[in-house]
Amino acid sequence: MISIEKTSRILNRFNIAFTENAVLRYLQRGQLDKAPRIESGYYSRNTKYGYSVDEDSLVTFLLERGVIEKEIHSVLSA
């Protein structure tokens, strides 16, 4: 699970999307999958959304857009 805000920053890093609203649109279109709200840790307190983004769907989304798997994992682990 990745917060909407962090997903926005990840997509911004790869010049795919630049706002949280863009992430929400990808979720509405079904290009990214929703996951339950993050209930523990830093992101549980600092998100305004009741759900998060499924990490596997984000990886698939990025791979489909030509991002190298090594870059994806380095950004996700940061």
8-58: pLDDT as tens digits: 999 999 999 999 999 999 999 999 999 987 776 655 566 788 889 999 999
User: How is residue 70 written in tokens?
Assistant: 């090594």
Residue 77 confidence class, pLDDT cut points 50, 70, 90: confident
**For residue 61, what are the contacts with CB-CB under 8 A and spacing of at least 6?**
26, 31, 32
Q: What is the pTM of this model?
A: 0.87
Total length of the chain = 78
- Please give the pLDDT value at position 65: 95
Residue 60 has pLDDT above 80, yes or no: yes
